[in-house]
Protein backbone atom coordinates (compact mmCIF):
# COMPACT_ATOMS: atom_id res chain seq x y z
CA UNK A 1 0.00 0.00 0.00
CA UNK A 2 1.66 3.22 -1.18
CA UNK A 3 1.60 6.38 0.94
CA UNK A 4 -0.87 7.91 -1.54
CA UNK A 5 -3.17 4.91 -1.10
CA UNK A 6 -2.71 5.14 2.67
CA UNK A 7 -3.75 8.80 2.66
CA UNK A 8 -6.80 8.00 0.54
CA UNK A 9 -7.84 5.42 3.13
CA UNK A 10 -7.07 7.82 5.98
CA UNK A 11 -9.20 10.52 4.34
CA UNK A 12 -12.19 8.15 4.32
CA UNK A 13 -11.65 7.29 7.97
CA UNK A 14 -11.36 10.97 8.93
CA UNK A 15 -14.65 11.62 7.14
CA UNK A 16 -16.54 9.26 9.45
CA UNK A 17 -16.89 11.80 12.29
CA UNK A 18 -15.50 15.18 13.34
CA UNK A 19 -13.67 13.67 16.32
CA UNK A 20 -11.46 10.59 16.56
CA UNK A 21 -11.28 9.48 20.20
CA UNK A 22 -7.70 9.05 21.41
CA UNK A 23 -7.94 6.20 23.88
CA UNK A 24 -5.65 4.83 26.58
CA UNK A 25 -6.94 1.43 27.72
CA UNK A 26 -5.57 0.43 31.12
CA UNK A 27 -7.81 -2.58 31.74
CA UNK A 28 -8.76 -4.99 28.99
CA UNK A 29 -12.25 -5.40 30.39
CA UNK A 30 -12.98 -1.77 29.56
CA UNK A 31 -12.14 -2.10 25.86
CA UNK A 32 -15.31 -3.54 24.35
CA UNK A 33 -17.87 -1.55 26.39
CA UNK A 34 -15.90 1.65 25.78
CA UNK A 35 -15.88 1.00 22.04
CA UNK A 36 -19.61 0.24 22.05
CA UNK A 37 -20.34 3.50 23.88
CA UNK A 38 -18.26 5.62 21.52
CA UNK A 39 -19.64 3.98 18.38
CA UNK A 40 -23.21 4.30 19.69
CA UNK A 41 -22.54 7.99 20.27
CA UNK A 42 -21.51 8.49 16.66
CA UNK A 43 -17.72 8.21 16.82
CA UNK A 44 -16.80 5.04 14.89
CA UNK A 45 -13.10 5.74 14.25
CA UNK A 46 -11.14 4.88 17.40
CA UNK A 47 -7.43 5.41 18.03
CA UNK A 48 -6.06 3.09 20.70
CA UNK A 49 -2.66 4.29 21.82
CA UNK A 50 0.07 1.70 22.31
CA UNK A 51 0.96 3.05 25.72
CA UNK A 52 -0.29 0.27 27.99
CA UNK A 53 0.50 -3.46 28.26
CA UNK A 54 -3.01 -4.43 27.16
CA UNK A 55 -3.26 -2.04 24.20
CA UNK A 56 -2.91 -4.69 21.48
CA UNK A 57 -5.46 -6.96 23.16
CA UNK A 58 -7.74 -3.92 23.49
CA UNK A 59 -7.49 -3.36 19.73
CA UNK A 60 -8.48 -7.00 19.19
CA UNK A 61 -11.47 -6.65 21.50
CA UNK A 62 -12.61 -3.32 20.07
CA UNK A 63 -12.27 -4.61 16.52
CA UNK A 64 -15.10 -7.02 17.24
CA UNK A 65 -17.52 -4.17 18.06
CA UNK A 66 -19.92 -3.67 15.17
CA UNK A 67 -19.57 -0.36 13.40
CA UNK A 68 -16.15 0.47 14.83
CA UNK A 69 -13.02 1.24 12.82
CA UNK A 70 -10.15 0.69 15.21
CA UNK A 71 -6.65 2.03 14.70
CA UNK A 72 -3.41 1.99 16.64
CA UNK A 73 -1.81 5.17 17.89
CA UNK A 74 1.73 5.94 18.95
CA UNK A 75 3.31 3.80 16.23
CA UNK A 76 7.04 4.40 16.57
CA UNK A 77 8.83 1.36 15.12
CA UNK A 78 8.29 -1.20 12.36
CA UNK A 79 7.61 -3.73 15.12
CA UNK A 80 4.75 -1.55 16.34
CA UNK A 81 3.28 -1.56 12.84
CA UNK A 82 3.46 -5.33 12.51
CA UNK A 83 1.95 -5.88 15.95
CA UNK A 84 -0.86 -3.40 15.32
CA UNK A 85 -1.77 -4.97 11.98
CA UNK A 86 -1.73 -8.44 13.52
CA UNK A 87 -4.04 -7.23 16.30
CA UNK A 88 -6.60 -6.09 13.73
CA UNK A 89 -5.88 -2.37 13.48
CA UNK A 90 -7.40 -0.81 10.36
CA UNK A 91 -5.16 2.27 10.46
CA UNK A 92 -2.14 3.61 12.29
CA UNK A 93 -1.23 6.96 13.77
CA UNK A 94 2.25 8.24 14.57
CA UNK A 95 3.43 11.40 16.36
CA UNK A 96 6.00 11.84 13.59
CA UNK A 97 7.35 10.03 10.55
CA UNK A 98 10.51 8.12 9.66
CA UNK A 99 11.54 6.24 6.54
CA UNK A 100 11.51 2.93 8.42
CA UNK A 101 8.01 3.53 9.75
CA UNK A 102 6.70 4.55 6.33
CA UNK A 103 8.29 1.48 4.72
CA UNK A 104 6.77 -0.80 7.37
CA UNK A 105 3.29 0.57 6.71
CA UNK A 106 3.80 0.06 2.98
CA UNK A 107 4.88 -3.53 3.57
CA UNK A 108 2.08 -4.32 6.03
CA UNK A 109 -0.63 -2.53 4.07
CA UNK A 110 -1.59 -0.39 7.07
CA UNK A 111 -2.87 3.13 6.30
CA UNK A 112 -0.71 5.58 8.25
CA UNK A 113 -1.57 9.02 9.54
CA UNK A 114 1.95 10.37 10.06
CA UNK A 115 2.66 13.37 12.25
CA UNK A 116 4.05 16.67 10.95
CA UNK A 117 3.96 20.24 12.28
CA UNK A 118 6.58 22.21 10.32
CA UNK A 119 6.59 23.09 6.65
CA UNK A 120 9.69 20.93 6.13
CA UNK A 121 8.08 17.93 7.82
CA UNK A 122 4.95 18.37 5.73
CA UNK A 123 6.98 18.67 2.52
CA UNK A 124 8.94 15.51 3.36
CA UNK A 125 5.68 13.63 3.87
CA UNK A 126 4.46 15.03 0.55
CA UNK A 127 7.58 13.69 -1.18
CA UNK A 128 6.72 10.23 0.16
CA UNK A 129 3.19 10.58 -1.25
CA UNK A 130 1.09 11.51 1.81
CA UNK A 131 -1.52 14.25 1.68
CA UNK A 132 -3.35 13.55 4.97
CA UNK A 133 -1.29 14.14 8.11
CA UNK A 134 -1.59 14.30 11.87
CA UNK A 135 -0.72 17.69 13.38
CA UNK A 136 0.74 16.90 16.80
CA UNK A 137 1.09 18.24 19.42
CA UNK A 138 -1.46 20.75 18.15
CA UNK A 139 -1.88 23.14 21.08
CA UNK A 140 1.84 23.62 21.70
CA UNK A 141 2.76 23.78 18.00
CA UNK A 142 0.80 26.90 17.17
CA UNK A 143 -2.70 25.47 17.27
CA UNK A 144 -5.33 26.37 14.73
CA UNK A 145 -3.48 29.51 13.53
CA UNK A 146 -0.45 27.39 12.58
CA UNK A 147 -2.56 24.93 10.60
CA UNK A 148 -4.34 27.79 8.86
CA UNK A 149 -0.97 29.33 7.97
CA UNK A 150 0.31 26.04 6.50
CA UNK A 151 -2.76 25.97 4.27
CA UNK A 152 -1.47 29.00 2.37
CA UNK A 153 1.61 27.48 0.72
CA UNK A 154 0.48 23.85 1.15
CA UNK A 155 -3.25 23.80 0.35
CA UNK A 156 -3.15 20.21 -0.93
CA UNK A 157 -2.46 18.85 2.57
CA UNK A 158 -5.24 17.98 5.01
CA UNK A 159 -4.74 17.54 8.75
CA UNK A 160 -6.10 15.73 11.77
CA UNK A 161 -4.85 17.84 14.69
CA UNK A 162 -4.40 16.12 18.06
CA UNK A 163 -3.08 17.27 21.41
CA UNK A 164 -4.74 19.82 23.66
CA UNK A 165 -8.02 19.76 21.77
CA UNK A 166 -11.25 19.96 23.76
CA UNK A 167 -14.94 20.53 23.20
CA UNK A 168 -14.31 24.21 23.89
CA UNK A 169 -11.68 24.76 21.18
CA UNK A 170 -12.50 22.01 18.67
CA UNK A 171 -14.43 24.38 16.41
CA UNK A 172 -11.31 26.54 16.02
CA UNK A 173 -9.75 23.58 14.21
CA UNK A 174 -12.76 21.98 12.53
CA UNK A 175 -13.74 25.26 10.87
CA UNK A 176 -10.48 25.31 8.87
CA UNK A 177 -10.69 24.10 5.25
CA UNK A 178 -7.53 22.00 5.63
CA UNK A 179 -8.76 20.12 8.73
CA UNK A 180 -10.68 16.89 8.14
CA UNK A 181 -11.27 15.95 11.77
CA UNK A 182 -9.56 16.23 15.14
CA UNK A 183 -8.31 13.77 17.71
CA UNK A 184 -9.48 14.16 21.30
CA UNK A 185 -9.27 12.28 24.56
CA UNK A 186 -12.00 14.19 26.39
CA UNK A 187 -14.71 11.87 25.04
CA UNK A 188 -13.26 8.96 27.05
CA UNK A 189 -12.16 10.51 30.35
CA UNK A 190 -10.36 8.21 32.74
CA UNK A 191 -12.81 8.68 35.61
CA UNK A 192 -15.81 7.65 33.51
CA UNK A 193 -13.93 4.68 32.10
CA UNK A 194 -12.81 3.52 35.56
CA UNK A 195 -16.38 3.86 36.87
CA UNK A 196 -17.90 2.09 33.89
CA UNK A 197 -20.03 5.12 33.06
CA UNK A 198 -20.66 4.02 29.49
CA UNK A 199 -23.85 6.08 29.23
CA UNK A 200 -21.89 9.17 30.20
CA UNK A 201 -19.24 8.41 27.59
CA UNK A 202 -21.91 7.84 24.94
CA UNK A 203 -23.34 11.26 25.80
CA UNK A 204 -19.92 12.89 25.40
CA UNK A 205 -19.52 11.10 22.07
CA UNK A 206 -22.88 12.37 20.82
CA UNK A 207 -21.89 15.90 21.75
CA UNK A 208 -18.61 15.55 19.87
CA UNK A 209 -20.23 13.88 16.86
CA UNK A 210 -22.55 16.87 16.50
CA UNK A 211 -19.69 19.36 16.12
CA UNK A 212 -19.86 21.20 12.78
CA UNK A 213 -17.08 21.01 10.24
Residues forming the active site: 47, 134
CA atoms of 13 and 30, how far apart (whole Å): 23
Cβ atoms of residues 93 and 73 within 8 Å: yes
> How many angstroms separate the Cα of 115 from the Cα of each of 123, 141, 205?
12, 12, 24
List CB contacts of 154: < 8 A, sequence separation 6 or more.
Answer: 119, 122, 123, 126
**Residue 188 to residue 197: CA distance in whole angstroms:** 10
Amino acid sequence: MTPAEQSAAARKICALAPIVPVIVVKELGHAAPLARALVAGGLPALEVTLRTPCALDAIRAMSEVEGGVVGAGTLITPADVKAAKAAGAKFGVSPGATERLVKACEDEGLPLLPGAVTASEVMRAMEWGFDVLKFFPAATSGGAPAIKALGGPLPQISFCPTGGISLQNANDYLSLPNVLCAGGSWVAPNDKVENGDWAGIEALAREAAALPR
